Structure 1
Amino acid sequence: MANTILQQSLKNLESAFKNFFAHRTGFPKFKSKHKKQSIRYPESCSIQGKSLKLPKLGIVKAKFPKTISGKIKSVTVSKTSTDKYFAAILFETNNLIPHKTGKISGIDLGLTSRVTVFDGETCTKVDPIKPTRKYAKRLKRRQQALSRKTKGSNNRKKQVKRVAKVHEKIANTRLDFLHKLSRKLVDENVQTRHGASVLVVENLCVKGLARTKLAKSVLDAGFGMLINFLGYKLEREGGKLIEVDRFFPSTKLCNCCKSKNNSLNLSIREWVCPNCQTHHDRDENAAKNIREEGVKILSTNTVGHTEIQACGEDVRLVGACAKKHSSVKQESPVTA
């Protein structure tokens, strides 16, 4: 079975070069021996009781977060920088995507409130968590201890793992929060009647925001990861994720009279429209405008024929409306 594993490595290299020549990513690089390592078993893998059988390795004890009932296509075993092993199992399933209906909700992403959701009737806000700042003191102390260790010594290698554990704690805290938040948003917008649900978000340029003075907070928020999670979870529930153009002035546009207020800056959280004298909450006004723009995108798209109903509005939905995102660790892996 070793030949199939080596062949799979060559296939991965081929895919990397194809993505490079298609200008989708950078030039392939060798894996660092100090970071995450992985290997894929394309066949001859099976589950025996509470263990996972892998070619050449034999039976390995594992914890399964869910029941795997279909045919196993491949297993990818990865090792983290803190010496933890995970197995991502790809298997076939006969579960069909449920046909459900919900509502069109606009979602404004921010730093003061992680998300502000407007479903056509009410606005709800979710407070952010800041794992990088929460564990900053612990990380600082362990990095200071690392700098005092002699290069090449065993004590330095041990301290490197202690630093890596703090980074892993920060990443896991952020990942757990984003998974729970995306699941909550999808569940609250999907009901049990026939049809589909739609979530509308902004297509933020996270790379550009990461160059500002708020870079640390922007990267800690994980906006791109949240949109990825919403995309694939909505797809499983029969819904769709629509992205509004990043240049759409959702914050500065008055939701009542549609006049644009160019005098707003980031420090102003509430403002009064100079035209109609309507008092606005910054985030709630943006969520309402994003929802209206999403409805407009759906209603003006006449190419497709997939018609859905949400909140009594007849709209047409096409897969080209929403930009596809590649899923990042969609489900919790199996701990081996």
Structure 2
Amino acid sequence: MLVNKAYQFRLYPTQEQERQIAKTIGCSRFVFNHFLAKWNDTYKETGKGLTYRACSAQLPQLKQELSWLKEVDSIAIQSSLKHLADSFSRFFKKQNGKPRFKSKKNPIQSYTTKQTNGNISIVGNQIKLPKLGLVRFAKSREVVGRILRATIRRNPSGKYFISILAKTDIQPLEKTESAIGIDLGITDFAILSDGQKVDNHRFTAKMEKKLKREQRKLSRRALHAKNNGIDLLDAKNYQKQKCKVARLHEQVMNQRADFLNKLSTDIIKNHDLICIEDLHTKGMLRNRKLAKSISDVSWSSFVKKLQYKADWYGKTVIKVDKWFPSSQLCSECGHRDGKKSLDIRDWTCPTCYTYHDRDVNASKNILAEGLSVHASA
């Protein structure tokens, strides 16, 4: 099956290449903001916005007026127009909010370029990019398939990354004739219906003490710069500390992503049918006592990874309704005797006298309900 697969690598540009990347990001941002302002003005005057084609037709004239736009990758500038048009399309479909002006103060800065006539290619441990030439990168794996586009990104930590989107042929995995139910939790990240419990590593909590210390330093340096009338963009000590804090956050993010990828891949490889509760994470985050812990475990990211990997490899993910009382039913006889509060972690069924671990029992009920939904589909 042909799918669009993303590969991410760290880039190691030279100083000259860094300047060119910054220039391209700046030009892409300028073009986006310029046409967003025009789009808004046209809408106020006529009641109708512009189109991608209309903006694209005005771009050559803008380049004539502003010659510095010719110094960067033309496809990157064209892509920023496409992103603007796509943002408005999603806005009118009520899929996201109204497009906003981009700022150079945003922590993550990026631009996208497309593959045309071999302008993006991998040569050994270097990647060829428009206007940049050959850039050294950490080639951790081979890029399989036809390259479609690349996004170059500068993180708040000062590191550069490239995301390559390629059209790849992925073969389905062998069938295992196995089904599993998964109950997601906070004490244990995932509890499987076979009794296995996956530890919640609490990546943010483990780094919290260090993060607090470094963020206090950042606040003090910001206050010092303000008292001395120095703009934060020009305050070198503040910017150094800002990068240090960003690196800590990046480390937490990388640890979590690595854990979720390995776990989701392992589950997909070993099971054909995965039954999981369709959690309403946004609603659960309103609980102030649990919001921090729920954000740290990243349930929604895990479910997304399970879903796209199942689609790739010919497996099935069944989402059980969020109102299904998985924790309240006995997985042996189906008895339900009222709602059990969260502090009850184990219980004995008064009908069949089976002793239950609350979470393992819930995962078994999720599996049974998922199999029932799959059979009736």
Match for residue 130 of structure 2 among 49, 52, 55: 55
On the 8 A contact 2:190/2:198 being kept in 1, the answer is yes
Q: Aligned AA for 2:241?
A: Q
Of 252, 258, 265, which residue of structure 2 is paired with 1:176? 258
Per-residue deviation, 1:68:
2.1
Change (3 A) 1:95 1:279: closer
Alpha-carbon distance in 2 for matches of 1:20, 1:295: 37
Q: Tell me, which stretches of 5 or more residues in structure 2 are unaligned?
A: 1-71, 227-231
Aligned positions of 1:123-272 closer than 5 A: 123-149=195-221, 150-151=225-226, 152=232, 153-189=235-271, 197-212=272-287, 213-272=289-348
> Which residue of 2 is the match for residue 109 of structure 1?
184
Tell me whether 1:288 sits opposite 2:364 in the alignment.
yes
Runs of 4+ in 1 over 4 A off after TM superposition: none
State how far apart, in whole Å, the 1-side matches of 2:172 and 2:88 are.
33
1:172 partner amino acid: N
Distance 1:200 1:9, change over 3 A: same
Moved more, 249-258 or 272-281: 272-281
Q: Report deviation, 1:275.
A: 2.8
Cα distance per residue 1:27-65 (max 9 Å; x no partner): 223344341111111122111121100011111011222
Tell me the SS of whatever aligns to 1:74.
Answer: strand
Partner of residue 42 from structure 1, selected from 109, 114, 130? 114
TM-score w.r.t. length of structure 2: 0.74
Gaps of 5+ in 1: 190-196, 302-336
C-alpha separation between the residues in 2 aligned to 1:297 and 1:82?
46
For the residues of structure 1 that align with 2:191 and 2:314, how far apart are their CA atoms?
A: 23
Structure scoring higher RCO (CA < 8 A, sep ≥ 6) equals 1
Task: Check the 8 A contact 1:112/1:128 in 2, yes or no.
Answer: yes
Tell me by how many angstroms 1:230 deviates. 0.9
CA apart distance, 1:6: 1.5
SS at match of 2:142: coil
Distance 1:215 1:24 in 2: 25
Work out which of the two has the higher radius of gyration on C-alpha atoms and give 1 or 2.
2
Given that residues 108 and 202 in structure 1 are in contact (C-alpha distance below 8 angstroms), is that contact kept between their aligned partners in structure 2?
yes
Q: CA-to-partner distance for each residue in 1:94-116, whole Å, 9 max, x for gaps?
A: 34334534311110000121111
Cα distance, 1:231–1:19 mapped onto 2, change above 3 Å: same
How many residues were matched structurally?
291
